[in-house]
Structure formats: structure tokens, C-alpha cells
Amino acid sequence: MSAPVLNYSLLAPILIILGGALLGVLVEAFISKALRATLQLGIALGSVVLSFAWLWKVHNESSISAAVKSVAMDPAGIYIQGIILVLAFIAILLIADQDNFTAQASALPGSEEESVAIAEGKQQTEVFPLTLFAIAGMMLFPIATDLITLFVALEVLSLPLYLMAGLSRRRRLLSQEAALKYFLLGAFSSAIFLFGVAFLYGYSGSLNFNEIAASISASGNNSVFLYIGIIFISVGLLFKVGAVPFHSWTPDVYQGAPTPITGFMAACTKVAAFGATLRLFYVALDSVDGTWKPIITAIAMITMVIGSIAAMTQRDIKRALAYSSIAHAGFLLIGVVALSQAGLASSLFYFLAYGLATLGAFAVITIVRDSSGEVTDLNRWVGLGKKSPLIAAIFSIFLLSFGGIPLTAGFVGKFAIFSAAYQTGNMAIVVVAALASAIALFFYLRIVLMIWFAEPTNDSVTVVIPSFLTRTAIFVTVAATLIFGVIPAPLLDSAKNFAVFLR
């Protein structure tokens, strides 16, 4: 039996991230507490930059057997990996603002309390290697072409997130509850996913996407094993993207996790999960689209409507954005249903537009505080525009991008993905998506009006001066949201050029 052939050049971006994660573990074990934070941040950012640089080096190369037949480094996979690395870099900047993790509940950035907490080594620097392990899993997830590799990538990205969700020391009980719910529901979804893998293997005799597709073409699609396998695997993936009715974990986890971790999960995990979902349905199951398209279409419609309506009833800004992310999961499912190159290209653009706005919105939330820390109660955001016009304006831009207002990247993303569905004749889902967008826009505009046109109350929040890293993250995300909204052509063209899954 011959040894497996691995293309280390194409796999290097993932290996670099894994190497950085292992180095971070060694730093955590052997380096003194005083030096850990700086070293861990340098390792995390350096690993992401080096990985992106190598990805750029090999972006014109492709192979369907980079790791035997388990990984396909193709244009779409490389593009999704690039998006994940860009978003992860911004997320690490937010995570590095250690005020979000220190034990002092009242420590504001730059305050004496925060300095004491840092000096005493109360920073949670273990978050950096955990983040890198999660990023490695996210990079493997959308390029896996084998169901076992897909499952391994799912667990590699999920297990660190279960731990990271419980790291908030400001609201310890809420954070630990969120982590426990996420872990338990994630374990159930992983088990269901494995059931689906077993049924598809029983049907086709293979775990490889291309061989499953060939088996469907040769044997037909009348097997109960095939139907059950598709349903179970879809449930596992829909849980990870937060689609209805598998969304119940989302608001609790988003609310309980530290805000930078919430932003990281909301942006990067959704991109990775949708990348894997697109590959599975576009490559392995495209010939049985008549079986799964009606189901995914119905789930997309329900997800968009329920996410948009539920967001309006929330009084906590993080829970509100959680339901907003559920609605956006419905919009992204339109790209799956479109089953065309235009659908794939529009999804790639939407990934970046949504991810940037999400990270920016959660970055703003980290600096809206009172004496006891972050304030997520929307009632206390009243009149923020009069206290801090710049931050209120930036947050409004992100909300308008979520709502799909022109001159923002969110508008271009929604227009592109709706157009892709229209071109393939899916008129019903376009109509429902337009109605859901209108409902969601009401919710976003209500927050904007509350921030700008209401008078501040006695218990209104203040905006602290953010650290350099948080300022950088906010500036990059708001600038990109506006630039890609005004000049979207270069990004749209690159997405179209890379919208190819190799078989």
C-alpha cells in the first residue's frame, strides 16, 4: 500500500496557523506571565499574516488531491480561506484588547485597575492559541472534500469555541451557561452529522464528494439511505450556520460570550460553515437538487422571516445582533439554493461584506460602557449620538449595511445574491427575502433613530477611549464597508473569477 501523497505547499496556510497555535501552547506553558500577552499577540497576528501571504503565493494553483482526495485547493476554497484570514486578523485585534477578559469588572481601558490586573497576570492569554486552533479548523472546513475530513474540521473549529464562549469574567455565570448550551447542542448536532455520514456511506460506498456524486448519477436518487443522509448532514451544517429551527443556541451564546469572541464567532464561523455547505451541495449533491432544494428553500424563508421579526423584540444589543445574524443566514442560504456560479460568486462577496460589518458592530459594543463594564441594554444607548457622534455614526453605518441601504457593502451583497436567485427562477425566495429585508430594516432604523433623535437619560452610557488595536479594527471595518459599497466592482469581479469548485 503506497504512502499518502500530501502537497505541503498548498496545505501550508493551514499548517502555519496550526504551527502558531502549538507555539502559543508552549508559550502558555513555559513563558512568564509578564511576557505572555505580547508574545501571544505577536504569534497570533504573525501566523495569520504569514498564512495569508503564503495563500496569496499559491492562489493561482489548484488541486483536487492536495491531501490524497480529502482536500481540494480550488479557486473558491482559496478565496474563502482568504476571507477567513482577513476577518480573523481583525477579530484578533479585538480579542487582544485584554480589558474584555481581565478579572476586574470595573477596569476601564488605560485605568489603574486594568494595569494592576495585567501586572498580576490575570489576562487570559490562552485565548490566542485557542483562536488559532479554531481558525485552522475554519480554513480546513470549506476545502474538505471527504465527509470524515469535513467532520474533523467541524470539531477542530468547534471545540475551541466552546471554551472561548465561557471566558467572560464580567458575567461569569451567563458566559458559562452560554458555553454549556453551545457545547451540548453542538455535540448533538455533531452526532446527527455523523449519522448522515454513515447513511451516505451506506448508499454510495464512499466518503468522497466526487465519488458520492458519481454514485448518485449511476444509481439514481431513489434510495432512502440517500434521503436520510442528506437530511442528517444538512441538520449538522444548518446548526453551525444558525438557521431556523436549529438556531436556539445563537442568542444565548452571543449574549453570554465575551464580545470579541462573539464577533469572531459571528463572522468567521459563519463564513467557514457556509463555505462547507456550498461545496457539499454544489459538488456532491447537485444532481439531486430536486430533493433538497425545496427543503433548503423553505428553511431559508423561515430563517429570514423569524430572524428579522425576533430581532425587533430584543432589548439587549447582542441578542438583537444574534437574531440579525440568523436572518443573514437565511439570506446566505439563497446562494445555496441558486446552485449557479452567480450564486457562488455573490455568496463570496456577501461573506466579506457581512463579516466586516459584524466585527465592526461588535467592536463598537466593546467600548460602550459604564463604570461596571460593557452595557448591552438598548434602553441605555438612548441619545448616544449626542454624547459620542463619531461612534454613533460608525455604528449606524454598520446597521445600515446590515439593512441593505445603498452605498454600503451590505446593499451590494444583498442585490447580488437576490439577482443570482432571480436568474435561476427562484422568484418565491426573492419575494420573501425582500419582505424580510424590509422588516429587518425597520429594526435597524429604530435603533438609529433611538441613538440620534432621543435625549440622553441619567443612566445613559458613555463611550470610553478605545485602545489602538480596537481603533484599528473599527477604522478598517467601517472604511471597507463604505468602500465596497461605493466601489464594489473590483471585489465582485474577483469573486466571479474565483467562484469555481473543482471536481
Q: Tell me: the pLDDT tens digits for 122-134? A: 567 889 999 999 9
pLDDT number for residue 103? 39
Higher pLDDT pick, 285 / 455: 285
* DSSP-derived 3-state class of residue 97: coil
- The pTM score is 0.91
**pLDDT of 121 strictly over 50:** no
- Say how far apart CA 398 and CA 386 lie, in whole Å: 18
CB-count exposure of residue 236 (10 Å: 0-12, 13-18, 19+): buried
Instruction: Kindly give, in sequence order, each residue whose CB lies less than 8 Å from that of residue 445, ignoring residues fewer than 6 positions away.
Output: 399, 403
What residue has cell string 448616544? Answer: 384
Residues in a beta bridge with 316: 377
User: In the structure, what pLDDT confidence band is assigned to residue 314 with cuts at 50, 70 and 90?
Assistant: confident
- The amino acid occupying position 52 is F
Q: Which of 15-24, 38-47, 210-219, 266-275 shows the lowest mean pLDDT across its residues?
A: 210-219
- Say how far apart CA 378 and CA 315 lie, in whole Å: 5
User: In the structure, what pLDDT confidence band is assigned to residue 375 with cuts at 50, 70 and 90?
Assistant: confident
User: In the structure, what pLDDT confidence band is assigned to residue 115 with cuts at 50, 70 and 90?
Assistant: very low
- Say how far apart CA 89 and CA 96 lie, in whole Å: 11
- Say how far apart CA 402 and CA 353 lie, in whole Å: 9
Instruction: Kindly give, in sequence order, each residue whose CB lies less than 8 Å from that of residue 479, ignoring residues fewer than 6 positions away.
Output: none
User: In the structure, what pLDDT confidence band is assigned to residue 112 with cuts at 50, 70 and 90?
Assistant: very low
Grid coordinates representing 55 are 495563500
Grid coordinates representing 352 are 466579506
> Cβ–Cβ contacts within 10 Å for residue 340, how many?
16
Please choose, from the candidates 247, 374, 357, the residue with its C-alpha nearest in 3D space to the C-alpha of residue 311. 247
DSSP label of 316:
B
User: In the structure, what pLDDT confidence band is assigned to residue 400 with cuts at 50, 70 and 90?
Assistant: very high
- Say how far apart CA 136 and CA 272 lie, in whole Å: 10
- Say how far apart CA 218 and CA 168 lie, in whole Å: 52
Model pLDDT for residues 457-501, shown as the tens digit of each residue? 666 667 777 788 899 999 999 999 999 999 999 999 999 999 888
How would DSSP label each residue in 51-91? HHHHHHHTTT--BS-TBTTSB-B-HHHHHHHHHHHHHHHHH
Grid coordinates representing 422 are 432571480
- End-to-end CA distance of the chain, in Å? 25
- Say how far apart CA 250 and CA 217 lie, in whole Å: 37
Greatest alpha-carbon pair distance for the chain in Å reads 75
Instruction: Please report how many Cα atoms fall inside a 13 Å half-sphere around the Cα of residue 132, on the Cβ side.
Output: 29
CA 259 to chain centre: 14
Grid coordinates representing 353 are 461584506
Q: Which of 136-150, 186-200, 367-381 shows the lowest mean pLDDT across its residues?
A: 367-381
Residues in a beta bridge with 73: 63
pLDDT number for residue 138? 94
373 phi and psi angles, rounded to 5 deg: 120, -160
What residue has cell string 468602500? Answer: 483
pLDDT number for residue 147? 92
Residues in a beta bridge with 199: none
- Say how far apart CA 222 and CA 215 lie, in whole Å: 12
pLDDT number for residue 476? 94
- Say how far apart CA 74 and CA 59 lie, in whole Å: 9
pLDDT number for residue 34? 82
Q: pLDDT over 70 for what percent of the chain?
A: 92
User: In the structure, what pLDDT confidence band is assigned to residue 287 with cuts at 50, 70 and 90?
Assistant: confident
**pLDDT of 1 strictly over 70:** no
- Say how far apart CA 294 and CA 15 lie, in whole Å: 39
Q: Which of 91-105, 377-391, 421-435 shows the lowest mean pLDDT across its residues?
A: 91-105
Angle at 200 between CA 199 and CA 201, to 5 degrees: 90
Please choose, from the candidates 330, 395, 353, 160, the residue with its C-alpha nearest in 3D space to the C-alpha of residue 261. 160
Model pLDDT for residues 239-285, shown as the tens digit of each residue? 988 898 888 888 989 988 888 999 999 999 999 999 999 999 999 88
Higher pLDDT pick, 29 / 66: 29
> Cβ–Cβ contacts within 10 Å for residue 413, how many?
31
**pLDDT of 62 strictly over 70:** yes
* DSSP-derived 3-state class of residue 134: helix
pLDDT number for residue 494? 92
Q: pLDDT over 90 for what percent of the chain?
A: 51
How would DSSP label each residue in 401-420? HHHT-TTSHHHHHHHHHHHH
